[in-house]
Structure 1
Amino acid sequence: MKLIKLLSLLAMPLVMAQQSTRFIYQVTQTPDSTNTEKKTELAYLDADGKRSLFYAENSLKRDSLMDRMRATKNFDRTQMQNLRSNLQFTIEKDLTNQSLIYKSRIGRDNYSYSETPVFEWKILPETVKIGDYQTQKAETRFGGRTWYAWFTQEVPLQDGPYKFSGLPGLIVKVQDDKGDYSFDLMQTKKITEIYQPLNRGQFITLSKSKYRDMEKKMQKDPASFINALRNSGGRGGGNRPPMSPQEMQEMQKQREAEIKSRNNPIELK
């Protein structure tokens, strides 16, 4: 296994008690089953010992850019193109009871659902040092996939990237057995507080099963969701000017291609 140099955390229990920590993961995924090209980007897990937030690095960058655009009233969409992400969700965890809230967007609307995942971890005897941490291997089934995780008790935080948690220590690495998805801890750093994403309207709360049904419908008929966005003017209200017909057409082609390419989700069921 390739070893990655991690930044050590000094006096970790004290750090976790007094302030928040950002764990930076490299996420490697194959979202399109018809294209073996892997997509790689960074994601953050902000945690304070009681709660955590998992989100794409580009989400934070987009929010910062939107703040500047609002301040200058210069909404240049081309600046957002390099900040696209394949991780189009946030996951808020309550670490006291291992519950979470998943938030994402389908079409022009924001949705969320609550979940308390049950991870029946099988802790294996295999150990390996990854970066600065001594880790132990564990196995579980989740979302229709078999997952292998490497956790360290040197960081007393029962959390990890995406929805994964429940092991006796931080998950340093987790990947599925087919190699479609992998999360690898690259760096840690102290932060003053857990990141708060920009509020882009109200969230519609529904069950996970209904949310998955909507995702499947969008996958089969992306045009219906794009048309809903077209009817709204494509900006979602506020002070942003409506899109031109050419902008809308370009966005429609791009969105439909993106939706069709996301045919290998991290959770298969």
Structure 2
Amino acid sequence: MKKITIIALAFISQIAFAQTTRFIYQLTMKQDSTDQNNIKTEMAYLDATPEKSVFYGEKRLQRDSLIAKMRETRGGSFDRSQMQNLRSDIDFTIEKDFKTGTKTYSSRIGRDQYSYDEDRPMDWKILSETAKIGDYKTQKAETQFAGRTWYAWFATDIPIQDGPYKFAGLPGLIVKIEDAKGDYSFDLKETKKISSPTVFEQRGNIIKVKRTVFNQQLEKFQKDPTSFSPPSPPMSMSGNSGGMRVQTNPTQRKEFEQRMKDELKTKNNPIELK
């Protein structure tokens, strides 16, 4: 009878995760090493199915929804302050294929969209320490990744070997993970069922490269962002029955490029140090 009960529970767990589950995390960041009091927070989504998952920022979803609505209406004026409010520090997506173990990181450098497959293994050391986090009984684990020591708390009650960002491979969902210095922390806040994982509209071709090449391009961009094709500056849009008209001016472009340089200076403590 005990064996039958275990099999039944396993079957129920499989049914429960047969659809897409959205795990909502709060990301806390200290991106400026010269100002430890400058703490930023953003919400991020992990949409997971039994075959794969996609991790992205909440503002990315909101921004794409706003752009789609703008294209549908094709009338009136477009308030660019709305887009400004949806600017995000989670400017990437990460897709994980559970069957192959592939983790694909995608992000924009200038106007070009790049992607690479993560080539570094994540070796976990499961520790004996346990903790109750929210409604979950969790166990602690440790790993070294990208120049940081990370401590994770995973819940075996959630039968999915995944977590936020690139983190995965523990015998249960990662409910909380933070680095040893306290610069970055992901905390699970909510779980909900959705119909299917989010699929973002792809504008332009993706440049597939190795991780080392991506980092080289990113380093060049950070040193001189104006040497790349810069992302579009804030713009005003108006339209009528004849279509949409985009208006920019040199002053907006110059201000935008200066703001980019200033922001890059304050992002000197990235999540990956090497």
TM-score, length of structure 2 as denominator length? 0.87
Q: From the superposition, tell whether residues 116 and 99 of structure 1 become closer, same or farther in structure 2 (CA, over 3 Å).
A: farther
Amino acid at match of 2:65: S
Give the CA RMSD over aligned residues: 1.9
Aligned with residue 173 of structure 1, among 172, 176, 185: 176
What is the aligned partner in structure 2 of residue 204 from structure 1?
A: 207
What is the aligned partner in structure 1 of residue 89 from structure 2?
A: 86
Question: How do 1:182-261 and structure 2 match up within 5 A?
Answer: 182-225=185-228, 228-229=229-230, 241-261=246-266
| Offset at residue 263 of structure 1 (A) | 1.4
| Offset at residue 31 of structure 1 (A) | 1.3
What is the aligned partner in structure 1 of residue 129 from structure 2?
A: 126
What is the aligned partner in structure 2 of residue 143 from structure 1?
A: 146
CA displacement 1:186-241 (0-9 Å, x = unmatched): 0000000000112222111111001001111122222323xx338x8988xx9662
What is the aligned partner in structure 2 of residue 4 from structure 1?
A: none
Amino acid at match of 1:148: Y
Q: From the superposition, tell whether residues 133 and 95 of structure 1 become closer, same or farther in structure 2 (CA, over 3 Å).
A: same
Q: Aligned equivalents of 1:32 and 1:223: distance in 2?
A: 22
CA contact (8 A) 1:222 1:259 kept: no
Q: From the superposition, tell whether residues 50 and 26 of structure 1 become closer, same or farther in structure 2 (CA, over 3 Å).
A: same
What is the aligned partner in structure 1 of residue 7 from structure 2?
A: none
Q: From the superposition, tell whether residues 123 and 249 of structure 1 become closer, same or farther in structure 2 (CA, over 3 Å).
A: same
Q: Aligned equivalents of 1:35 and 1:218: distance in 2?
A: 23
Q: Aligned equivalents of 2:195 and 2:171: distance in 1?
A: 25
Q: From the superposition, tell whether residues 81 and 244 of structure 1 become closer, same or farther in structure 2 (CA, over 3 Å).
A: same
Q: Secondary structure at the match of 1:241?
A: strand
Q: Secondary structure at the match of 1:229?
A: coil
CA contact (8 A) 2:20 2:193 kept: yes
CA displacement 1:119-169 (0-9 Å, x = unmatched): 110000000110111100000000010000000100010000000000001
Q: From the superposition, tell whether residues 222 and 251 of structure 1 become closer, same or farther in structure 2 (CA, over 3 Å).
A: same
Runs of 4+ in 1 over 4 A off after TM superposition: 232-235
Q: From the superposition, tell whether residues 137 and 240 of structure 1 become closer, same or farther in structure 2 (CA, over 3 Å).
A: farther
For structure 2, the 5+ residue unaligned runs are 1-11, 236-242
CA displacement 1:36-87 (0-9 Å, x = unmatched): 2111010000001210000000000001100111112344322111111111
Q: Aligned equivalents of 1:42 and 1:220: distance in 2?
A: 29
Q: From the superposition, tell whether residues 240 and 259 of structure 1 become closer, same or farther in structure 2 (CA, over 3 Å).
A: farther
Q: From the superposition, tell whether residues 233 and 144 of structure 1 become closer, same or farther in structure 2 (CA, over 3 Å).
A: closer
CA displacement 1:173-192 (0-9 Å, x = unmatched): 00000001000000000000
Amino acid at match of 1:170: L
For structure 1, the 5+ residue unaligned runs are 1-10
What is the aligned partner in structure 1 of residue 6 from structure 2?
A: none
- Percent identity (aligned): 55
Q: Aligned equivalents of 1:260 and 1:233: distance in 2?
A: 19
Number of aligned positions between the proteins: 253
Q: Aligned equivalents of 1:86 and 1:210: distance in 2?
A: 22
CA displacement 1:10-51 (0-9 Å, x = unmatched): x6532211x100000000011121222111010000001210
What is the aligned partner in structure 2 of residue 22 from structure 1?
A: 22
Is the aligned partner of 1:263 residue 2:263? no
Which shows bigger deviation, 119-128 or 66-75? 66-75
